[in-house]
Amino acid sequence: MFGKKKSEGFKIIIVGCGKVGTTLVSQLTREGHDITIIDKDQSIVNDVTGTYDVMGVAGNGASFTVLQDAGISDADLLIAVTDSDELNLLCCTLAKQFGNLSAIARVRTPDYSKETNYLRQKLGLAMIINPELEAALEASAILALPNALEVNSFAHGQATLVKFRLPEDNDLVGRTIASIGSSLKSNITFCAIERKGEVYIPSGAFTLEADDVISYVSNRRNASNFLTEIGYKSNKVKDAMIIGGGKGAYYLAEQLISMGIKVKIIETDKARCEELSLLLPKAIIINGDGIDQELLKAEGIQSAESFIPLTGIDEVNVLLTLHAKNVSDAKVITKINKINYNEVLDKLDLGSVIYPKFITSEAIVAYVRARQNSGKSSNIETLYHMFDSRIEAIEFKVDAASAVTGVPLKDLKRKDDVLVAFINRKGRIIIPKGTDSIEKGDTVMIVTKNTGFTDIQDILA
């Protein structure tokens, strides 16, 4: 065993310390949990325990002896995120046999993904998460609203959080949030604004400037209507060119085809092309090198409405995105798995950037916070980190009356930098005014610069 133990939070075992596992270590240690890692590679264990205040065991996470060494008998949660779906499921199954704990498995194979609910119930797992599928869902939502940089769903799809960049010639430039709100037909909440590296939760007096990156939330219909109202063309793209034919490409193509979007995939491996042709009969599958500029030109990159490089190599994805922006007007989405040079990436103007490792970690952190909050007045439904984790958007389900319920929002004494973005009441999304109140049975989205909220009452000053 390596490292030093802490006494706060849950005892969590993470099996597999690749990009997702390491991201989980980083986020869960920040949240005050006692982490033990398991990885078959001793050097990786040494690196992670040397970087974070965690314990580590080198070995097979499906070995009972290794699990014992990691403290399975008194662990609260095991998270299996190795590269093997089968190993992840086996680790979780064994852990539940020998410990009174919850278990979460990462499962990426399409065959298993279609059986997620069955596997979760039969194996008694708290969660099965598929980062490739979740990334595909996020990408398809962006392509349905191509002027957006990011699109995320809350309230079981009834509410939409959208991020976009404000161009200098837009009518909103120079206007206050209050004046915009009073003149709009679309009912929205401005949640957060990034300007020159600083992030703000805006008041009504906040004045918008050109090049601001703005996040707003509304019901699904108004998410699109607002962009149309301020001068954007907000129709979904008609076609998509995808480079790379891995699992992520399959999931994305499947989503886009179901939306009526034409899909072309360029993949180097001939056998995989034949497989994709059978799996996706409505897609065009091209066997070729997706980094060949002449091939891209021949296949229509210059006229493509969207371009999504999914090669599995971040640097290649970035270069392909920059090339597409140089030769076409396509909406581009860049998937980043490993590289962490956020400041450099921001300066490259890569369009929409998706990080599957963060999608996975946020879902798991939301689950852990919900477990911590068991028995209190509310529970966490959804957690989303915005603007490089400087702001959190948290959706709480209000299970009981408390100090925050039945009180008009204008009379609710809240911490600084806390915004009530929407109230979901029986499926109706309410963009709240000062006279509205939170009631038992609602779900409520809170946007805040504070971190670690586990209960709706945490918003109170």
Domains with residue ranges and CATH for the chain: 11-129 (3.40.50.720), 154-229 (3.30.70.1450), 239-354 (3.40.50.720), 360-459 (3.30.70.1450)
Per-residue pLDDT at 4: 38
Q: Report pLDDT digits (tens) over 300-338.
A: 999 999 999 999 899 999 999 999 999 999 999 999 887
> Which tokens hold the place of 82?
């190795």
Whether residue 214 has pLDDT greater than 50: yes
Return the SS3 of 398. strand
- 221: number of Cβ within 10 Å: 12
Q: Average pLDDT over the chain, rounded to whole?
A: 91
Structure tokens that stand for 347 in this block? 């300066």
Structure pTM?
0.86
- Report, as an integer, the average pLDDT of 328-350: 80
Which pLDDT score is estimated for 375? 58
Q: Which helix (H) or strand (E) segment is 159 a member of?
A: strand 159-165
- What are the φ/ψ torsions at residue 9 (nearest 5 degrees)? 70, -165
Contact by Cβ (8 Å): 82, 24:
no
Rounded CA separation 252/242 (Å): 9
> CA-to-CA distance for 314 and 317, rounded, in angstroms?
5
141 confidence band (pLDDT: 50, 70, 90): very high
| Closest of 333, 311, 327 to residue 143, by C-alpha | 333
List helix spans (H) across 173-292. 177-183, 220-229, 247-258, 270-279
CA distance 27 to 1: 21
From start to end of 174-315, where are the E strands? Answer: 189-195, 198-200, 213-219, 239-243, 262-267, 284-287, 306-309
CB atoms within 10 A of CB 336: 21
70 near 57, Cβ under 8 Å?
yes
**Is the Cα torsion angle 175, 176, 179, 184 positive or negative in sign?**
positive
Closest CA to 128 of 144, 149, 114, 147: 114
Higher-confidence residue of 360 and 279: namely 279
Q: Name the phi and psi angles at 230, rounded to 5.
A: -100, 15
Residue whose C-alpha is closest to residue 353's, from 135, 108, 133:
135
- Percent pLDDT > 70 in the chain is 95
Low-confidence winner among 186-200, 376-390, 415-429 (lowest mean pLDDT): 376-390
Write out the two tokens for 397: 């389900």
Q: What angle do CA 238, 225, 385 make, to 5 degrees?
A: 85
- The pLDDT, as a whole number, for residue 115 is 83
38 touches 63 (CB < 8 A) = no
Q: What is the pLDDT of residues 83-127, one digit of tens each?
A: 999 999 999 999 998 878 999 999 988 888 778 888 888 888 988
* Residue 379 · residue 402 · CB < 8 Å: no
Q: Please tell me the distance from the alpha carbon of residue 190 to that of residue 337, in angstroms, as a whole number.
A: 29
Amino acid at 21: G
What average pLDDT does the segment 208-230 reach? 92
d(CA 344, CA 379): 37
Give the angle subtended at the CA of 31 by the CAs of 30 and 33, to the nearest 5°.
100
- CA-nearest of 68, 101, 79, 77 to 18 is 79
H/E stretch holding 23 = helix 19-30
Query: What is the edge-to-edge ordering of all strands in the sheet holding 306-309?
Result: 284-287, 262-267, 239-243, 306-309, 331-335, 352-354
pLDDT at 341 > cutoff 90: no
Residue 138: both structure tokens together = 């996020």
The number of residues making up the chain comes to: 461
pLDDT(157) > 50: yes
